[in-house]
Amino acid sequence: MTRSTKGRSNNPGLKNEPDFATTQERQEKAWKILGHASAEPSYVDPETGDNVLHALARLKLPEKGSLLSQIQEYVLKDIDLNLHNRDRDCPLAAFISERPFLGKENDETGATMSKYLDALLWKDVRRRVPNRINVNMRNREGATALYYAAIRARPDSVRSLIEAGANVNARLGRCTPALQIPLLTKDDSRWAQNQHPPSNDQRQGSGCS
């Protein structure tokens, strides 16, 4: 029986940040997937359902600029940009929801994150020729990539997604549309409360359905 490797929550509808051990496990798996993909680019891990782009979302490669190069290389090899893994996340959402990891800040700026997203979104950024990607794809909780970018206070990512056609009115049930979610800072007391889509109980209590 295949199990999800994500962190668990007491609320079934709530997507928790994975703890350190879980994150380590997922990163080790990501390195293995990257190794397989070097020989077979379209490789999909049978346990997690991840392709190489899901894996790259969890990794910080040692050389500066190498992650962007890897993303561009695999996109050119026609890797499925819309593949749902076992957690129902597509690569685009994974890059937003799984970086930075280990609960720590790193040296990736908002502009750097936008470059990663643009590599997924656009075949030609300057001419605005899109890749074959559904920017409004939803995950298990019904959240889009734009929703995650908004609740994680990433205005550069929000801008990149909107420019690629993200639906600013997308909701989780009757919850606030993604674009109306305040772009909080990590010093804001509401930050921790806005890191994840609401659970079923939270949706009912806040008028969402």
- For 60-72, what is each residue's pLDDT tens digit? 888 877 999 999 9
- For 123-158, what is each residue's pLDDT tens digit? 998 999 999 999 999 988 888 999 888 888 888 999
104-118: buried (b, 16+ CB within 10 Å) or exposed (e) per residue? eeeeeeeebbbbbbb
CA distances from 57 to 50, 165, 197 (A): 10, 21, 20
Residue type present at position 48:
T
Domain boundaries, the chain: 20-205
121, with CB counted inside 10 A (0-12, 13-18, 19+), is buried
> How much is the pLDDT for 39?
97
Question: What is the C-alpha separation between 67 and 69, in angstroms, rounded?
Answer: 5
> How much is the pLDDT for 141?
83
Entry pTM: 0.76
Q: Which residue has the higher pLDDT, 81 or 108?
A: 81
pLDDT of residue 18 exceeding 80, the answer is no
> How much is the pLDDT for 167?
92
Fold of 20-205: 1.25.40
> How much is the pLDDT for 207?
40
- DSSP, collapsed to helix, strand or coil, labels residue 120 as helix
Measured at the CA of 105, the angle between CA 25 and CA 189, to 5 degrees, comes to 110
The torsion of the CA quartet 136, 30, 48, 69, rounded to 10 degrees, works out to 30
Q: What is the DSSP letter of 129?
A: E
- For 74-107, what is each residue's pLDDT tens digit? 999 999 999 999 989 999 999 998 886 544 455 6
Q: Which residue has the higher pLDDT, 203 or 17?
A: 17
- For 110-126, what is each residue's pLDDT tens digit? 899 999 999 999 999 89
> How much is the pLDDT for 22?
66
